[in-house]
Structure 1
Amino acid sequence: MTDSPIDDSLTHGCLEDLSPEARLLLALARPRLEPAQQQRIFRFLTANGQDLDWGLLVDQACRHGVLPLIGRNLLTYRLVHSADGRSLAPYRWIYAYAYEGNRRRNHALADEYAKVIRGLNAGGLDYAIRKGPVLTEGVYGDVGLRRMGDLDVLLSRDSLPEFTSVVEGLGYRQGHLSGNAELVVPFDRRTQMVWKVSLANSTLPYLKPAQRDDVEVFVLDPCFNVFQPGSGAVVDPAEILARAVDAVLFGEASRRLDAVDQFIDVCVQLHVEATTLMYIEIGKDLTILKFLDLVQLLNRLSGEQLETLVSRVRRYGCVDSVRYALHHTGQVFPDGVPPELTAEFGPADPDLLETYGVLDGRPDRWEQGFADRLFNPRRSRTPKARSTVPGPRAVV
């Protein structure tokens, strides 16, 4: 970096003291850029492109799960070159490869997960697909924009034996990947017992070695409830499954959560992951992609669905999770959350916003502010306590 002044055209409205790289990242992290947004970014890059730490930008984009998205935007909107052909953003090929590589990777995952969905349908299981795959295919509208990971499946606990039979027939095993990535090694007994007793809303993941350069492993993540034990939120999973809607995923007839339950699910997961020691330790507690997901889902809710959302959140008893998610999403994307929706659930309690480790039984408070944590890659070293949950980390 030089000592030259940084143009302030991308000043963020809610988060203070952001680096220019962070401001640029937030400006680019949108599925679509309106002409006015394109012009602001172009002016910013024209004034400051040579002074930015592009290595830091790429690192943060990877950490936050948005490198394919910002890569597509830099290229599609012609933001990497000035009008006279001067480079404004170095290493154009990185952004092209990130987007194209992610698109191809997601197609590989889709081909595999389509087989799983066909198997679940043939087995007559009652299920609903959650989170990533639904967002990648049904919300973003471009399979290369959002990085997809595991296949999250909600089903009743009684259906687990049938689920296991179906996926084992497709080559999946419950365990972790071996060192050479060619075998799935069963979890030890302690890990199995801890997950069975303490994490009763889910079970350990099912893995299948992919043996591909772009996909190391296929992961199935079944769960039995959208709420964690001890969270205070209560809903009969059968109610959510009964309300699931038909969808086409990976070219197959499937089922997904209804729009309101899907939004609540994303809010709850955002809150859990932002405040749980296991996610903090692996640096997946705060990512821009999670806040962007919530904005995209919120934009798709009708007025009637928003009214249903308010009543359903109160009935489920998950007001704190939704309040936490909406507050922080509004901090990251100030224009993404209607003020009236935030006001509907009342002002967020500072204790709620600054406390982590509650579900771990080790509550503590952050000493850094939200903006500092959002872009601090060393925040995982801050908590005094460590997660005692054994088992997978890379596939969480």
Structure 2
Amino acid sequence: MHPASPSRRRFLTAGSAGLVALTVPSHVFGSAPPVLVGLDAEFFDRTSTSDEAVQLGAQTAIDDINAMGGVLGGRPLQLITTDNRSLPARGVANVEQLGNLPDMTAYLGGKFSPVVLEQLAHIHAVRLPLLAPWSAADAIVDNQYRPNYAFRVGLRDSIAMEALLEAIAARGLQRMGLIAPSSAWGRSCQFFIERHLIHRTDRSLELAGVEWHRWGSDRLIDEGYRALVQKGAEAIVLVANEPEGATLVKAVAQLSDANRRPIFSHWGITGGRFTELCGPALQEVDLEVAQSFSFARVKSPEGVRLAQRATEHFGVDDPLKVPSATGIGPAYDLVRLLGLAIEQARSTTRAAIHEALEHLPPYSGVVGHFAPAFTPLRHEALRARDVLICRFDADGRLVPRNIGG
């Protein structure tokens, strides 16, 4: 078992997968009833850090809003967390609990798209807005529900795959192989890669092959890599979480230079203790990773405070060493946007908040400037131009390829 941060230990020792309420300063707000924000994530996942990162971003935003007087004339926001243990059925049960709470205005989802996808039917039944900072399946937002209660400030698989292919083309590489989980996540990423290849005008890229690995298992992923190299792959697109990604990195590091290929990875590998799991092998592999947020780009006072809070919370000496940082910024902005929506709605009524989320004014967040974040026809705040391609440097910092861009 890895050593947990103090906040993570406090959560885990609660000893329950039920509701956990984070307190609000009663000396400031007195008896004013709190306005609730939910967070359902994989808090008991052994290697995850994305859950803690999303919680930190959300709680910091709540603290900032409360420091300015709260919402609705002096009511504090309060975060309520539930643990889904990475299980869709538990995630659905948790959302049922959250949806039954008076003054629950919205909830943030966790890392795993299969959990969030299973929650969609219930959140629409009770009209509980979903705020997605990490989970990437296109179908979370591109769902069949009208009105649509899912909103995302984070990457989606389709634009991430496009960005990774463009990064491969920029390196002058042509034949790529895909390593993906044998799940809906992996199949959707394969679909988006193939669709992008068809629509490219220069036709310089081609898919040499696809190798599947079992989600949650790191067995045989290195064999898939070797099979793609034998098929002539000059680059590897990796869709995986941190355990499988680390296994591949360590396997590639042991190969001769002639058999090493650059790896272009989905941000799933950064959702946990990836650098720790890789160890020194990480510096032996040519690895680029898609991200939706980096503290390297932060300039606003809110972003600087968030970076300071994150380094203190995780006990690191540099914001670029903060684990799962790509979940912190989106979670922060989502809660700040929710606060604006509550004020605009002048109510905790979910339908009114949904309407307000679709008609917000421009907002400059830590992730970027949204003008606006959402519209009635667009519930995705980020686009292809917002993707950052990053590399781990010799100090273990995850650095955008062009910090000044």
Flag the structure with higher strand content.
2
TM over 0.5: no
TM-score, normalised by the number of residues in structure 1? 0.29
Higher percent of residues as helix: 1
TM-score by length of 2: 0.29
